[in-house]
Amino acid sequence: MSRVALLLAVAALACKPPESPAAKYLRDPEAVNRGRLIFVGTCGAYCHSTHDVERDAPSLFDCEWKHGGSDTEIFASISNGIPNTRMPAWKGALPQGDEDIWKVIAYLRSASECKH
């Protein structure tokens, strides 16, 4: 490998964003299932549907995100809530803290059907 190619490869690696915890959990069926159970037990009764259905709260399974669709942005939405909506801040509220939020995101990714 030439020196230029090596530099390009290193640069590419350096530019690649670090993998989010959600992406890591996406490969772990147990973590995805825990994310599902938290969603079922905490988010999906009167607010978000567990199906791709719009209720009072938006569907979270259509890959369309009103407040940013990266893992980090979704993490922020769940952690901090959405002002002037019924979405509360969940930071510090789940049994395993931030890890549970990442597992919920992993579950949403696993169960979504992107239309675009």
Partner 1 sequence: MIKHGFARGIALALVWGLAAAGAAAESKEAPAEIQLPPVPTHWKAEKPVGTSAGPVTPEMLNAPTTPPDRWIQYGGNYRNFRHSPLKSLTPESVKKLSVAWAFPTGTTGQFEASPVVYGGVMYVTSSYNRLFALDAKTGELLWRYDHKNGENLRLCCGPPNRGVAISGDLVIMGTLDAHLIAFQRKTGEIAWNVEVASYTAGYSITSAPLIVGELAIIGVAGGEYGVRGFFDAYDVKTGKKVWRHYTVPGKGEPGVESWAGDSYLRGGSPAWTYGAYDPETDTLFWTTGNPAPDWDGDGRAGDNLYSDSLLALEPKTGKMKWYFQFTPHDVWDYDGNTQLFLVDAKYEGKPRKLIVQANRNGFYYVLDRNDGKFLHASPYLEQVNWATIDATGRPVVNPDALPKEDAKFRTCPSNLGGMNGSFTGALNPDLGLAFIPSSEACQVFTKGIGAFKEGLPYLGGLPDTVDATAGKAYGNLAAIDVTTGKIKWRYRDDRPMMGGVLSTAGGVVISGNLEGEVLALDAKTGKVVWRFRSGGGLRSQPIAYQLDGRTYVAVPTGSFSTMDSFAAGVTKVPEGGTLFVFALPK
Residue of the chain from 34, 60, 61, 74 that contacts partner 1 (CB under 8 A): 34
CA 39, distance to chain mean position in Å, is 12
> Should residue 39 be labelled a site residue for partner 1 when binding is judged by CB under 8 A?
yes
Nearest partner of 20 among 80, 98, 81, judged by Cα: 98
Taking CA atoms, 108 is separated from 12, 30, 40, 57, 97, in Å, by 29, 14, 11, 15, 17
Shortest distance (Å) from residue 17 CB to partner 1: 29
> Should residue 42 be labelled a site residue for partner 1 when binding is judged by CB under 8 A?
yes
- Give the nearer residue to partner 1 in terms of CB position, either 8 or 40: 40
CB atoms within 10 A of CB 98: 15
Residues that bind partner 1 (CB under 8 A): 34, 36-42, 44-47, 50-51, 53, 55-56, 88, 90, 92-95, 100
